[in-house]
Amino acid sequence: MSVPINFNVKSVAASISPTAGSPLHDHFRRRADAAEVQPRILHPLENEGLRLLVLENISQEAVAAFRSQGYHVDHYTKAMGEDELIEKIGSYHGIGIRSKTKITKRVIQAAKKLLVIGCFCIGTNQVDLQAASRAGIPVFNSPFSNSRSVAELVMSELVTLSRQLFERAHELRNGIWNKQSKNCWEIRGKTLGIVGYGHIGSQLSVLAEAFGMRVLFYDVLNIMPLGQARQVESLNALLSESDFVTLHVPELPETINMISRDQLSQMKEGSYLINNARGKVVDIPALVESLQSKHLAGAAIDVFPHEPSANGDPFDDQLNPWASTLRKLPNVILTPHIGGSTEEAQRMIGQEVSSYVSRYLGSGSSISAVNFPEVDLRVNTSDSIIRICHVHKNQPGVLKQVNDALSPYNVEKQYSDSKGEIAYVMADISNVSTSDWHALKDRINSTDSNILTRFLA
Ligand SMILES: NC(=O)c1ccc[n+]([C@@H]2O[C@H](COP(=O)([O-])OP(=O)(O)OC[C@H]3O[C@@H](n4cnc5c(N)ncnc54)[C@H](O)[C@@H]3O)[C@@H](O)[C@H]2O)c1
């Protein structure tokens, strides 16, 4: 089923296309009926024909969305190695990748025109973020697009574990009829303990209540509970009251092995553990002991301390020394890190990241960038405005230099922010002639703190 892409056009204000304007703006204005109300879209003053290189299996909707914005898109379905990328990247203004393409420092050095990197996935480990920000290139990703997919998987695991569904289905596939109700339970009326009440944990809370479960959660932050859920004060309180415990915390030094022998012993006899968070959050040898002793009645695990790097690679004792023991335990569901792997999540990622990339190229907004100061200005409806997007080194005196250069003009809006070594200022100025902006561009580009400056109109 295909769902149309909706661009987030918050930063693009609606205006009536004027009939007259400065020669500069006339040059860049799209042909439009004077009376028609059009969203105003800014365009780079220098590099009109923006070229995007899109790699790997990025959703087709995202590729179509880029093309509909007027960008030239070269789309290859495979990842590229470093050398091939270095050879190709020089002519592109934007690149879209998933997790297999590595954007190294060498790649960034070769990317002379690159303005933006879109990671169409959850993480950004594949990009040298520091090299990118030093080159004035923001990196966008989509960290929370698959929250619903994970929450739904947990719901299915709750039922599967409590009904021993996996065992029965496996037996029947082997020709064994084994109908039984002993130790098979409804989840209605049972207590679900959620550890980490963020994007996934809170979605799950709503779904579990709709199934008639009582929901408790533990989080390091005080969070407003949804529905009838209740926050408890300690992890131990949650463990000792819950029939099912599900983990939704990030991997941090303090969450590594947060469920180990002591915590498992706090859990109720006959309860279940579900981990779709990160592999190192659970001490798996301790979990194996707890399952073998029948203290826990089952577990579902989607993430592991070491995971095979490609489909088809073995999941064995060489990778994790307990793998073969875990694989043999009854009522244990093992899945290959598929919590967030759905068509909907991929589509949402495509929609979200393509809108960030287009918004940055079109209006300069860096909101949601992972390595970059987050700056946004509403797009001014007036046709006589030029927008300056100036990425610079985060050092004293830069704003004075910039504002000296802008002082002959009216600065309609200005906003700046910094992150680590770099800073970003956006300014809208009015009534700039063509010769003026060339001079302005030369002046700002020649400052010693300049990293990358663009002019949009
Ligand atoms: N299995 C998959 O395919 C899959 C998919 C998406 C996300 N994940 C993982 O799920 C986890 C949760 O994702 P999310 O999007 O809900 O994250 P999130 O950042 O929205 O929520 C995490 C929550 O955990 C809380 N937290 C942090 N440290 C804690 C601690 N020591 N004790 C208790 N609470 C703590 C935070 O305050 C926050 O509320 C992450 O580890 C993520 O990597 C897995």
Does ligand 1 lie within 6 Å of residue 220's CB atom? yes
**Sheet of 51-54: strands edge to edge?**
72-75, 51-54, 94-97, 116-119, 139-140
- 325 pLDDT band, cuts 50/70/90, is very high
Nearest-10 Cα torsion for 107, 112, 118, 119: 0
How far apart (Å, rounded) are the C-alpha atoms in residues 241 and 129? 43
What residue ranges in 196-311 does DSSP mark as E strands? 214-218, 230-231, 244-247, 271-275, 296-301
Among protein residues, the one with the nearest Cα to ligand 1's atom 40 is: 250
**Side-chain-facing half-sphere of 6: CA atoms under 13 Å:** 3
Q: What percent of the chain stands above pLDDT 90?
A: 81
Burial (CB count <10 Å: 0-12, 13-18, 19+), residue 239: buried
| Average confidence (pLDDT) over 369-390 | 90
Does ligand 1 lie within 6 Å of residue 201's CB atom? yes
Does ligand 1 lie within 6 Å of residue 172's CB atom? no
Tell me which amino acid residue 256 is: I
How far apart (Å, rounded) are the C-alpha atoms in residues 232 and 222? 10
Whole-number pLDDT of residue 47: 53
Does ligand 1 lie within 6 Å of residue 243's CB atom? no
Whole-number pLDDT of residue 248: 98
Does ligand 1 lie within 6 Å of residue 304's CB atom? no
pLDDT for 253 beyond 50: yes
Mean pLDDT of the chain: 89
Domains of the chain: 1-38+375-457 (3.30.70.260), 50-144+342-372 (3.40.50.720), 147-334 (3.40.50.720)
| Average confidence (pLDDT) over 394-401 | 93
Helix 60-68 crosses helix 343-363 at what angle (to 10 degrees)? Answer: 20
Closest ligand 1 atom to residue 303 Cα is 1
Whole-number pLDDT of residue 10: 30
Closest ligand 1 atom to residue 250 Cα is 41
Whole-number pLDDT of residue 14: 26
- 22 pLDDT band, cuts 50/70/90, is very low
How far apart (Å, rounded) are the C-alpha atoms in residues 355 and 222? 32
Whole-number pLDDT of residue 435: 81
- Provide the terminal-to-terminal Cα distance of the chain, rounded to the nearest Å: 38
pLDDT for 33 beyond 60: no
Does ligand 1 lie within 6 Å of residue 218's CB atom? yes
Q: What is the pLDDT of residues 422-451, one digit of tens each?
A: 999 999 999 888 788 888 989 999 999 999
Among protein residues, the one with the nearest Cα to ligand 1's atom 12 is: 248
Tell me which amino acid residue 117 is: I
pLDDT for 73 beyond 70: yes
Closest ligand 1 atom to residue 249 Cα is 24
pLDDT for 37 beyond 90: no
Closest ligand 1 atom to residue 196 Cα is 24
pLDDT for 272 beyond 60: yes
> Which residues does the annotation mark as catalytic?
278, 307, 337
Question: Using alpha carbons only, what angle is made at residue 386 by residues 366 and 410, rounded to the nearest 5 degrees?
Answer: 110
Both tokens assigned to 368: 């949601």
Among protein residues, the one with the nearest Cα to ligand 1's atom 33 is: 219
- 42 pLDDT band, cuts 50/70/90, is low
How far apart (Å, rounded) are the C-alpha atoms in residues 281 and 267? 16
Q: What is the pLDDT of residues 188-232, one digit of tens each?
A: 999 999 999 999 999 999 999 999 999 999 999 999 999 999 999
